Amino acid sequence: MMVEYLLALSSIVEQLLGEECTKDIISNLKREVKDTKEPFIWHVLDVEHHRSHLPPPIKSAWLFALREHTPSIAHCHPNSIQHTVIIEGKGEVRVGERHAALRLFDARDVSTWYVIGKNVPHEFFPATEMIVISFHTCLPHELVEIAYVGGRRGKYE
């Protein structure tokens, strides 16, 4: 069941990456991330025209650009399961207690997906600038992000 679910998301990612508007967003994010001190910037993707093909739990999609050599800051989402693929770049990821080298998205290989459960802390460590697509099981305005600072949880303001 999980394999079919991730393959359906892979198909959506391929469609999104083939769209001119997504290519433009990626180009803009790459330009903007070079001019910020923030660890990452994002854009919420419009997935309404893909809604009929999205697995039912998925409610939103996000495109991120992560700055080179700038950790994303450990955080969790208490109200969403996150499904993430790396479109461009190199680095590492920590999900819970597991630390691993990142693998680039391959639509035929579901092991390139990072599925992060509710309340599971995670952090990305980009060795290069990275482009990431994440799907969430809540709407964009509902997503709660809680930072892990010094091993303690704290809510982003």
Residue 151, pLDDT score: 52
User: Can you list the domains of the chain with their CATH numbers?
Assistant: 2-155 (2.60.120.10)
List, for residues 66-98, the tens digit of each pLDDT value: 999 999 989 999 999 999 999 999 999 999 999
Strand order in the sheet with 98-101: 98-101, 91-95, 122-126, 75-76, 146-149, 152-155
CA dist., res. 114 & res. 110, Å (int): 9
- pLDDT, average across residues 54-68: 95
**Residue with structure tokens 């990305």?**
124
Whether the pLDDT of residue 32 is over 60: the answer is yes
Residue 147, pLDDT score: 86
CA dist., res. 15 & res. 12, Å (int): 5
Residue 148, pLDDT score: 76
